[in-house]
Structure 1
Amino acid sequence: MAIRVGIGLGAVIVVLLVLILLQPSTYRVERHATVAAPVDVVFDQVEDFRKWGPWLPWAKLDPQMKTTFGGTQGAVGATYAWEGNDDVGSGRMTVTAIKPNERIDIELAFIEPFASKADNGFTVEAAGQETKITWFMAGTNDFMGKAFCLFMDMDAMIGKDFEKGLADLKRVAEEAAKAPKPADAGTVNAAAPQ
């Protein structure tokens, strides 16, 4: 009897290993939004990590999350590090490439709850009077990542967060586009009767 149980357990383990090894070795998550704001206004919200708070979906999961910014924001080498509760873990983002008003590439390094790296970033392009923004993340799956994929769909899991973040980013950028610029405010005041 013990031999049959051992053989059955061994067969289950072999099948599980084969299923894990057959999982994709790479992943890509991508979501888009159309924003009623000029390209430069939308890009301004993603090129400076200090502006991410109002729209970053994970910031809402831990309002006490500690964040640290380094380097020159809006430039290659700018960093954003975070340390939070179990919902957000800890990690660091570093800008690796930037093409103003077109694309920003970010290396995303998770430290906790598990160590991993991914390529992350945004592209923006004019869409008539609006701007199309794309948020993407891509990476490779090691053995543990492939095992994770058996139980969780990375696109569905991360995609929902991207959708929430882009909806909030849209709101923030559209409000910024409607706000009077300092030069405009001065012009209006100068024209006002004394």
Structure 2
Amino acid sequence: MKTILRILGVIILLIIAYAVIAMLFFSKDYHFERSIVINEPKEKVWQYTGSLKGFNTWDPFSKADKNVVITYSGVTGQVGESYHWKGNDKVGEGEQTVTEVAPNEKLTTKLHFIKPFEGDAKGTFVLTPDGNGTKVTWTMDNELNTMMKIMKPMMDMNMKKMFDEGLGDLKKMSEK
């Protein structure tokens, strides 16, 4: 019994130590990035990355709710294009707005999360030639509050899963 209590005590101390270290020393700046090479020219890939409507054909996040409600506004593929989504607890609610467009090269958006937590992020798709194909790099940048710093390893695992799923679907769609 004493051994079990000691082990539990050590585990609790390690968790507390990790939380303190994360809160004090992890950067508040969060950057996540994944890339994939698609065996198609960037003009073909751009049709799925150059607008929010194109993005939503392979977006891994909204797939978590088949009944998600998406409302578009603005001119497709232009600065100011936006959409509002409202879904279940997994999808939440928020808005995404195009802030920068360099046709066939780069699309940057501002994400505003409303539920389940309030926050802002910046998303970017960059297309670069790679041999006979196109390298697509998808990034997300935001600031972490103190409590989110503790969850960074879990966030990284979840983001990797979602980005890889989405980029895999983008590759399949683009290479059809």
TM-score by length of 2: 0.85
Instruction: Name the SS for the 1:68 alignment partner.
Output: strand
Q: How does 1:124-163 map to 2 (within 5 A)?
A: 124-149=127-152, 152-163=153-164
Match of 1:110 among 98, 110, 113: 113
- Which residue of the partner structure matches residue 184 of structure 1? none
- Which residue of the partner structure matches residue 10 of structure 2? none
Shift of 1:133: 0.3
Give the unaligned 5+ runs of structure 2.
Answer: 1-12
Q: How does 1:47-58 map to 2 (within 5 A)?
A: 47-58=50-61
Q: Which moved more, 1:165-174 or 1:41-50?
A: 41-50
- Which residue of the partner structure matches residue 29 of structure 2? 26
Matched-pair contact (CA < 8 Å) for 2:35–2:137: yes
Question: Within 2, Cα distance between the matches of 1:46 and 1:168?
Answer: 12
Give, as a single letter, the amino acid of the residue that structure 2 aligns with 1:65. Answer: V
Shift of 1:51: 2.3
Q: Name segments (4+ residues, structure 1) moved above 3 Å.
A: 14-19
Percent identity for Structure 1 against Structure 2: 34
Could you say which structure has the larger radius of gyration?
A: 1
- Which residue of the partner structure matches residue 44 of structure 1? 47
Give, as a single letter, the amino acid of the residue that structure 2 aligns with 1:50. Answer: K
Matched-pair contact (CA < 8 Å) for 1:21–1:146: no
Question: Within 2, Cα distance between the matches of 1:128 and 1:167?
Answer: 19
Question: Within 2, Cα distance between the matches of 1:19 and 1:29?
Answer: 17
Question: Within 2, Cα distance between the matches of 1:106 and 1:89?
Answer: 18
Q: Which moved more, 1:47-56 or 1:74-83?
A: 47-56
Shift of 1:19: 4.0
Give, as a single letter, the amino acid of the residue that structure 1 aligns with 2:159. Answer: I
Instruction: Name the SS for the 2:151 alignment partner.
Output: helix
Question: Within 1, Cα distance between the matches of 2:167 and 2:104?
Answer: 17
Question: Within 2, Cα distance between the matches of 1:146 and 1:17?
Answer: 10
Structure 2 residue 95 is matched with structure 1 residue 123: no
CA RMSD of aligned residues (A): 1.8
TM-score by length of 1: 0.77
